[in-house]
Amino acid sequence: MRTVYRCLGATSVLGLLLLAGSATAQTGPPATLKEWFLLRDTNGDGKIDRAEFQNAIVEGFYFRDKSKSGYLTIEELPEASPEAFKAASRTRDKRLTLDEYVNALFKDFAAADTNGDGNLTIEEIDVYIRTNRR
């Protein structure tokens, strides 16, 4: 299940979330996976659940939507190949809506969740990023 990884280019989507920064961290993205993980693990249970992951996705979407248009263009996702970006867009309109972006990224969540428990540990994310890095 490397579909979304291929959609977004050289690093995995989880890696992109790490690189994307956040609306709450105006000084830039966390320097390490551990910092990113700790910021997103809002209940402190040592896992990123689906709700926490979705919050990170939505935050990343709005961080990347520099034009504040409500959708992402290929220019706002420079690490995505044109073919992969098109594949992620259900309507093939050269734009990714928040819904399309969320749906695509949850494919990475499922692929990274190797034990199928509906949560991601820092180890699962680390392995997924390292395995899918080009």
pLDDT tens sequence across 1-10: 333 433 444 3
Give the mean pLDDT of the chain.
80
Rg (CA), the chain: 14
pLDDT of residue 114: 96
Give the mean pLDDT of 100-110.
Answer: 89
Q: At 85, which amino acid appears? A: F
Query: What domain count does the chain have?
Result: 1
For residue 87, what is the domain's CATH number? Answer: 1.10.238.10
Mean pLDDT calculated for residue range 36-58: 95
pTM of the predicted model, to two decimals? 0.76
Say if residue 26 is exposed, middle or buried (CB neighbours under 10 Å; 0-12, 13-18, 19+). Answer: exposed
Find the domain containing 93 and state its range: 3-132
Q: Are 28 and 21 a contacting pair, CB within 8 Å?
A: yes
Report which DSSP code applies to 113. -
